[in-house]
């Protein structure tokens, strides 16, 4: 009984200490993480997101294809990567699947005002003032119509992140070279190989949804990913950062089960030896 009391005191002290240095300290240091806003409430919703895809395609070729390709529909960009890097310090994305991973209202407003939509005043794409709201609606309709549905987490991550971020443990190299990125963003964006271990799922979702919420002043743009796309990206990043999670959980059960048996046996042996002691 006395020994159980001592054990109880130990457990209480350890638990108080653990509470203090883990949950409590973390809540003080990092505060509460804002819930992601997948409706993008601050984005004006008055620009149409539907229209005529055929017209949209014409508008795309006239206004966008000088920089952006669209491989799904056989459209090649008007400039190669090196020219683009020289002018913009970043490779413009191929827009084949953008309509499937980015929220449509975000996309429409982004075409109109990329800097405001991404919350990044230095965002490389110029504002498309020559396009009317109706034109934008047609383009968005076109982008949605050509986009591949059901992309998996890896594909979305490559589409959405890999222009700037490398994931070297997965052999994914950022499309834009590091020195160009440094000029464009002020620093080389972090490699995402083990970001899932450095940050938890909740943080990553909130950060991708709106980087300024968690890291005010960061040059990472808001991407406008839909809820589904964000979750798929985060699930992917989380999985590649901790590939042996299932193995760990299963092995843990076996090891602890084995030790429980050990504890039973050693307790029985102790009882036997100590029977004659008192």
Residues binding other proteins (CB under 8 A): 2-3, 6-7, 10, 13-14, 16-18, 20-22, 24-25, 28-29, 169, 190-191, 193-195, 197-200, 241, 243-244, 248-249, 251-252, 255-256, 259-260, 262-263, 266-267, 269-270, 272-274, 277
CB 235 → other proteins: shortest distance, Å? Answer: 18
CB 218 → other proteins: shortest distance, Å? Answer: 12
User: Would you say 61 or 194 has its CB closer to other proteins?
Assistant: 194
3-state secondary structure of 43: coil
User: Would you say 86 or 259 has its CB closer to other proteins?
Assistant: 259
User: Would you say 38 or 207 has its CB closer to other proteins?
Assistant: 207
User: Would you say 44 or 190 has its CB closer to other proteins?
Assistant: 190
CB 277 → other proteins: shortest distance, Å? Answer: 6
User: Would you say 21 or 62 has its CB closer to other proteins?
Assistant: 21
Mention every residue, 6+ apart, whose C-beta is less than 8 A from residue 139: 51, 56, 59, 60, 63, 64, 111, 131
Are 40 and 210 spatial neighbours (Cβ–Cβ below 8 Å)?
A: no
Are 95 and 65 spatial neighbours (Cβ–Cβ below 8 Å)?
A: no
CA quadruple 16, 20, 26, 28: dihedral, nearest 10: 130
CB 47 → other proteins: shortest distance, Å? Answer: 38
Are 138 and 49 spatial neighbours (Cβ–Cβ below 8 Å)?
A: no
CB 148 → other proteins: shortest distance, Å? Answer: 30
Mention every residue, 6+ apart, whose C-beta is less than 8 A from residue 196: 204, 234, 237, 238, 239, 240, 241, 242
Q: Token pair for residue 247?
A: 């193995």
């Amino acid at each position: 009984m006395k020994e159980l009391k001592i054990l109880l005191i130990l457990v209480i002290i350890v638990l108080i200490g653990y509470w203090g240095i883990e949950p409590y300290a973390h809540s003080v240091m990092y505060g509460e993480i804002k819930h992601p806003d997948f409706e993008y409430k601050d984005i004006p919703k008055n620009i149409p997101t539907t229209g005529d895809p055929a017209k949209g395609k014409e508008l795309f070729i006239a206004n966008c294809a000088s920089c952006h390709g669209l491989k799904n529909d056989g459209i090649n960009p008007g400039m190669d990567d090196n020219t683009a890097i020289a002018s913009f310090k970043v490779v413009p994305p191929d827009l084949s699947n953008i309509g499937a991973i980015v929220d449509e209202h975000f996309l429409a407003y982004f075409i109109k005002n990329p800097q405001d939509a991404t919350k990044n005043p230095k965002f490389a794409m110029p504002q498309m003032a020559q396009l009317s709201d109706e034109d934008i609606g047609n383009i968005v309709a076109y982008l949605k119509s050509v986009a591949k549905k059901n992309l998996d987490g890896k594909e979305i991550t490559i589409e959405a992140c890999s222009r700037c971020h490398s994931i070297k443990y997965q052999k994914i190299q950022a499309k834009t070279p590091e020195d160009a990125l440094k000029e464009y963003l002020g620093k080389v964006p972090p490699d995402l190989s083990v970001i899932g271990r450095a940050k938890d799922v909740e943080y990553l979702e909130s950060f991708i949804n709106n980087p300024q919420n968690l890291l005010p002043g960061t040059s990472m743009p808001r991407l406008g990913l839909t809820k589904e796309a964000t979750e798929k990206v985060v699930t992917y990043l989380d999985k590649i950062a901790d590939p042996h999670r299932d193995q760990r959980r299963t092995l843990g059960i076996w090891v602890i089960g084995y030790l429980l048996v050990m504890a039973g046996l050693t307790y029985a042996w102790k009882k036997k030896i100590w029977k004659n002691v008192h």
